[in-house]
Structure 1
Amino acid sequence: MSVISTTTASRGLLIGGKEVPAMSGRTTDDVNPVTGEVYLTVPAAGPADVALAIDAAHRAFPGWAATAPSARRGLLQKAADLLEARAEAFADIMVEETGGTRIWAGFNIQLSVDLIRQAATMATRPTGALLASDVPGEWSMAVREAAGVVVAFVPWNGPLILCARAIAVALAMGNPVVIRPSEDAPITSGYFLADILAEAGLPEGVVNVVTNDRNDAPVIVETLIADERVRRVNFTGSTPVGRIVGELTGKYLKPVMLELGGKNPILVLDDADLQFAAHGVTFARFMNAGQICLSVDRVIVHNGIADAFTEAFVAKVAELKQGEPDAHDTLVGPMIHGRAAERVAELVADAVEKGARVLIGGGPAQGVHYPATVLDGVTPAMRIYSEEVFGPVACIFRVETDEEAIALANDTPFGLSSAVFTENAGRGLAIARQLRHGNVHINDQSIADEPQAPVGGVKDSGFGHFGSDWGAEFFTETRWVTVADRHRDYPV
C-alpha cells in the first residue's frame, strides 16, 4: 500500500518488496506534531524483523550488483522523474507528519531530485584504475565493487533530502539498502522514497524499510549494525546518538559515515553588503524553524557595522511569515514537538537571565511553536553559547578584528558548516582557510547545498562525505587484481 496518492491509516514493514506486520504484532504511532493526533501507525519491529529485512537485502545483492550500470542509471533517473512529479503529494504528507512548511517541502523535493539524478551518473562512471607495475607483461588494476548491504539511519528534519543522500549513491554503485527512518517521520524519511523507487522498477529486496518504537531504538540500532551481512552504515543526526552509532560500528568493524550536529558560524565582515548578508543570515537561521543541521547558530559581526547590520537583520526577521505550516508563504512553522520548543525557550530564558538582550521574539514556547528570535550580548556563560540551538533563534556576536572572528567561529567542538560575507574574495578565502568547518561558503549562507559537493563535517560534526562524487568510494570495496600475459621466473 502506498502513501503517494492517498493518506493511509497504517503501513507495514517493507521487506523484499512486500509490506508485512511486525512478527510481534506491535505497532507504534506517527503523530502530527501540530494537532497531536495520530497520522498513521507503523510496525514496531523487533530483532527478528530486522533479520528478515537484512535477509531480503542480502538475497537481492548479487542480482542488483550484476545489473548493467546503464540499467541502474536508468532506474534512478526514472525515480527522479517520478519524485519531481509528486511534489504536491509529498508536501501534503510532510505538513501532516512533521509540521514542515510547504516552502521546506519544496526544497526537499527539488534537492532530492537533483541528488538522485547526480547519483544516477555514478553508476556508469569508471570504477577502478590501471596501476603501474614492475612486473613485465602484468596488468595491475585497482577495482571497485559494490560492498553489500547498506544500513541508512535517516532523521526527520530534512527527511527526503537526507533519505536520498543516504541511499542514492549506494544504490547506484550496486548495493541494496535497509532504511531505518526516524520515529518522528517514517513516511517522509523512508517510505515515500522507497515507494518511488519501487514504482520506478527497482527489484524486490533492493530497498527495505524497518520502523520501530522509540523505546526499542537501542536494540534495533545495534541489531542492524551487528549483522555480519551489513557492510556499510551511514547515520545523520545528533552528535550524542552519532557517538553511539560510532561505538557500535567500531565494535562490529563496520565502515561508517556520520553527519552530526553543528554550531555553525556566519562571519559578516566590515566590507559586506549588509542587506545581502541580512537576507542570507535570515534564510540560514529561520528556514524550517532553524531545524537544519547546517543552520547558522553564531552570527559574528564586525563591531563597526554591527548596529547597521543588526537593524537590517531584525527588520528582515520581522517580515517573516510565521505560523501554521500549510500556508504557502510560511517560513517559520512549528517545531517537531512541544519538547523541542520548550528546550529552545529554556535556552533563551537562560541567556536573558545572564544578560543577553532580546531584539525580537523571545518569551515562552507556544505549544509546538517558538517565535523567530534574535539575541544580542551572548556570552560563554550562557548555555546557548555552546549548545546547538536547533530552533529559530539567532545570536549576534560583535568582534573587532578578523582574527577575533575566526577564533570565535572555531571556539566549538563542532565543525560542520560556516560562511563569510565580504565583498573581497581574497579576504574571504584567507579566512576560509582558517575556519575548522567542513563547509565554508564565501558570500553565501551556511545551508548552501549541491548534490555533487562533498557535504560533511569535521571534529564532533562527524566524518565522511555524502556528496555523490565523494560517496562512491565509501559504498564500494577496492580490490587489487593483476593479469599477466606471460609466465614469469620465480627465484625458487
Structure 2
Amino acid sequence: MVLSPRFTLNDPSLLLSTGWINDAPARSGTNRAPFDVQDPATGEVWTRVESMDAADADAAIQAATDAFPAYSALPARTRARLLLEFDRLVRENKEDLATLVVMEAGKTLAEARAEVDYAATYSWLMAAEAERIQGEVLKANENPSLRFFTIKQPIGPVGLLCPWNFPIAIALRKIATALAAGCTVVIKPSPETPTTSLALALLAQRAGFPKGVVNVVTASAETTPEVGKKFCEDKRLKKISFTGSTNVGKLLAAQSASSLKKLTLELGGNGSFIVFEDADLEQAADALVANKFRNAGQVCTCANRIFIQASVIDKFAELVKARVAKLNTGHGLDAGITTGALTTERGAERAVGLVADAIKNGGTLHTGGKRFGTGFLFEPTVITGASKDAKVYKEEIFGPILSMYAFETEDEVVGLANATDMGLTNYVFSQNIGRAWRLYEKLESGTVAINTAIANAAESPFGGIKESGSGKEGGLGYGVDEFLIVKSAAMTV
C-alpha cells in the first residue's frame, strides 16, 4: 500500500528522511544508517528514519540545556499562548497525524482520529495548567512572627521516552505537560513509531516554541539502549518520564540511580475486569469488548484477567462472543475495519504463543486465535477455562485475546484481583453502590473504573502503584507537579 495522505506539514517525507533535532545541523562527519518503519497491517516498509545514537542524544540534550534558561523565564501566560497555538495546529492537522498513526502503529483510522482528539485534550488542559502553577504563604503555628513561602520552579531539561501503542497521545501528554511547567524536552520515540513524534516536534516549532525547546532523537532498535542509557546517566537532564514495560522501567531506574534523577514511570498492567451477577450484563459486555479490543488489545489499561461471577458466566460469555463476532480486523485505512493490526512482528508471534499456552493449560478456544494476512494481523480471540498457570492469566497480554474466569464471592475476587505485582487499573461492574465503593477502596491499583470502560481523561491523574510505576500524568496539578521543584523560604516579620 502506498501512503498518500493529504499532508499539510510541508512534505513530512523530507522531514522523515533526515531526522530532526529542532533545526540543529547534523554533526560533522555523521553517517547515520536509516532504519525501516513498517506498515503493521502489511509488513511493508513505507518510510525510513535516520538512526541516531548517544552522540546525537548528547547534541539534543545540549540544545535543551542551552534553551532552558530563557524558556523557563518566560511568563506563564506566554507559555500558555504557545501551547494554545500548538494545540490549534495539532487539531488542524488531525487527518495527517491520524494517517501517520495508522501507518506506523496499525490502528484503524477511526481509532487514530480518536487518539489525536484525546491527545489534544492534554495540550488544551496544559495551556491552562501553565497559569495555575503557584506557591503559597504559610504562617508558623508556634512563632507568630515567622512566615514561610513556597514557589514552584521547572525542574530543568527533561527526557521523554515514549512507547509505540499511543504514539501521539502519550508523546503529546508528556510534551505539553513539560512545556507548561517551563521545562525544555528531549523526546525519544519508539523505533516502531518515530514519525508521529517528528511531526509533533515540527508543529511545536511552527507554534513558536524557540529553538532548542523541543528536540527529537530517533533511534533504531539497535541504538535505543545506548540512547536510553545516555538519557538516564546524563546529569544535564533532571528528570525522565517513561511509559513502557515494567522490566525496562526497572532498568531505567537503575541507570538513573547514580544521579538520583527524578522519574515518572507509567509501566505495565495486569488489571482485572470484574462483573457481578447484579451488573447490567449488556452494558458490561459492551464495555469489555470496547476496552479489550481497542488498538488490538495493546493498551496498558486493557482488561487482562476477566472475572465473572459464576452464576452468570455462561450468559455473559455468549454476550461477549456475539459482539466479538461483529469485529472486522484488517488494514486501518480500509473501509469497515473495526480492529487494526498488532504493531510488531514479535507481538503477533507472542499472541500465537499465548493462545497455545492457554489451551495447553485447560482453556477452551471459542473464537479467533490465529494470525492472518501478510502483516501482523491477529484474530480477536475469546478463551474460557484456562488455569491460573496460563500466561494469559499471569502476564500482561497486550493483544486481542480475552480470557474469562469464574468467581463466587466478593472477598474471593478481591483477593484474586490483588494477587499480582501490578497495580495500574481495575474495572468493576455492579449495580450495588456499596459493593462498588468497597471494591474501589480495596482494589490495589492507581485507578478503579466503576461501570465504565473509560479509566482516565486529561482532567484525572493517571498512574499506577506497585510495579505498575510511580508518579502521575495529567490531572489538575498532579501531572505538571511532576516537572516542578518546590522551593521554600523563611522570613521573620
Q: With the length of structure 2 as denominator, give the TM-score of the two structures.
A: 0.94
Task: Tell me which moved more, 91-100 or 292-301.
Answer: 91-100
Once the two structures are superposed, the pairs formed by residues 4-43 of structure 1 within 5 Å of their partners are 4=9, 6-8=11-13, 10-18=16-24, 20=26, 24-27=30-33, 28-43=35-50
Any idea what SS the aligned residue of 1:374 has? strand
Residues 23 and 385 of structure 1, relative CA distance in 2, 3 Å threshold: farther
State the shift of 1:295 in Å.
Answer: 0.7
Q: Does 1:108 align with 2:124?
A: no
State the shift of 1:405 in Å.
Answer: 1.4
Q: Does 1:449 align with 2:456?
A: yes
The unaligned stretches of length 5 or more in structure 2 are 1-6
Q: Does 1:342 align with 2:343?
A: no
Q: Does 1:437 align with 2:421?
A: no
Once the two structures are superposed, the pairs formed by residues 154-233 of structure 1 within 5 Å of their partners are 154-188=162-196, 190-233=197-240
Residues 46 and 400 of structure 1, relative CA distance in 2, 3 Å threshold: same
Any idea what SS the aligned residue of 1:123 has? helix
Separation of aligned partners in 2, 1:3 and 1:402: 54
Aligned to 1:263: 270
Separation of aligned partners in 1, 2:271 and 2:74: 41
Aligned to 1:313: 320
For 1:140, which of 127, 133, 148 is the aligned residue? 148
Aligned to 1:152: 160
Once the two structures are superposed, the pairs formed by residues 275-294 of structure 1 within 5 Å of their partners are 275-294=282-301
Specify the code of the residue in structure 1 equivalent to 2:163: P
Aligned to 2:424: 416
User: Per-residue CA shift, 1:13-63, capped at 9, x if unaligned?
Assistant: 433434637853112222222333332222222222111111110111011
For 2:68, which of 61, 67, 76 is the aligned residue? 61
User: Per-residue CA shift, 1:355-410, capped at 9, x if unaligned?
Assistant: 10011112456541110001000211212210111000001111111111111111
Residues 326 and 302 of structure 1, relative CA distance in 2, 3 Å threshold: same
Separation of aligned partners in 1, 2:273 and 2:392: 16
State the shift of 1:334 in Å.
Answer: 0.9
Separation of aligned partners in 2, 1:414 and 1:33: 28
Separation of aligned partners in 1, 2:108 and 2:9: 18
Aligned to 1:488: none
Any idea what SS the aligned residue of 1:14 has? coil
State the shift of 1:213 in Å.
Answer: 2.1
State the shift of 1:82 in Å.
Answer: 1.3
Separation of aligned partners in 1, 2:205 and 2:335: 30
Separation of aligned partners in 2, 1:89 and 1:19: 26
Residues 16 and 333 of structure 1, relative CA distance in 2, 3 Å threshold: closer
Separation of aligned partners in 2, 1:158 and 1:211: 16
Separation of aligned partners in 2, 1:18 and 1:279: 49
The unaligned stretches of length 5 or more in structure 1 are 486-492
Q: Does 1:324 align with 2:310?
A: no
Separation of aligned partners in 1, 2:45 and 2:28: 19
Specify the code of the residue in structure 2 equivalent to 1:259: E
Q: Does 1:357 align with 2:340?
A: no
Specify the code of the residue in structure 2 equivalent to 1:58: T
Aligned to 1:397: 405
Any idea what SS the aligned residue of 2:212 has? coil
Separation of aligned partners in 2, 1:41 and 1:22: 21
Task: Tell me which moved more, 285-294 or 120-129.
Answer: 120-129
Any idea what SS the aligned residue of 2:320 has? helix
Q: Does 1:388 align with 2:396?
A: yes
Separation of aligned partners in 2, 1:3 and 1:81: 14
Separation of aligned partners in 2, 1:99 and 1:59: 37
Q: With the length of structure 1 as denominator, give the TM-score of the two structures.
A: 0.94
Any idea what SS the aligned residue of 1:94 has? helix
Any idea what SS the aligned residue of 1:233 has? strand
User: Per-residue CA shift, 1:153-211, capped at 9, x if unaligned?
Assistant: 000101111101222111101000000111000012x1121112111111111000001
For 2:482, which of 445, 451, 474 is the aligned residue? 474
Specify the code of the residue in structure 2 equivalent to 1:289: A
CA contact (8 A) 1:3 1:192 kept: no
CA contact (8 A) 1:418 1:441 kept: yes
CA contact (8 A) 1:332 1:392 kept: no
State the shift of 1:217 in Å.
Answer: 1.7
Any idea what SS the aligned residue of 1:296 has? coil
Any idea what SS the aligned residue of 1:214 has? coil
Q: Does 1:124 align with 2:143?
A: no
Task: Tell me which moved more, 319-328 or 171-180.
Answer: 319-328
Any idea what SS the aligned residue of 1:142 has? strand
CA contact (8 A) 1:12 1:21 kept: no
Aligned to 1:490: none
State the shift of 1:330 in Å.
Answer: 2.1
Separation of aligned partners in 2, 1:147 and 1:17: 24
Separation of aligned partners in 1, 2:372 and 2:350: 9
Q: Percent identity?
A: 33
For 2:87, which of 80, 84, 95 is the aligned residue? 80
Specify the code of the residue in structure 1 equivalent to 2:180: A
Residues 303 and 87 of structure 1, relative CA distance in 2, 3 Å threshold: same
Separation of aligned partners in 2, 1:19 and 1:77: 28
CA contact (8 A) 1:73 1:123 kept: yes
* RMSD after superposition: 1.8
Separation of aligned partners in 1, 2:28 and 2:113: 33
Specify the code of the residue in structure 2 equivalent to 1:473: D
Any idea what SS the aligned residue of 1:15 has? coil
CA contact (8 A) 1:22 1:43 kept: no
Separation of aligned partners in 2, 1:111 and 1:410: 30
Residues 88 and 328 of structure 1, relative CA distance in 2, 3 Å threshold: farther
Specify the code of the residue in structure 2 equivalent to 1:390: F
Task: Tell me which moved more, 12-21 or 285-294.
Answer: 12-21
Residues 23 and 442 of structure 1, relative CA distance in 2, 3 Å threshold: farther
Any idea what SS the aligned residue of 2:102 has? helix
State the shift of 1:118 in Å.
Answer: 0.7
Any idea what SS the aligned residue of 1:472 has? helix
Aligned to 2:468: 461
Aligned to 1:244: 251
State the shift of 1:224 in Å.
Answer: 1.4
Question: How many pairs does the alignment contain?
Answer: 482
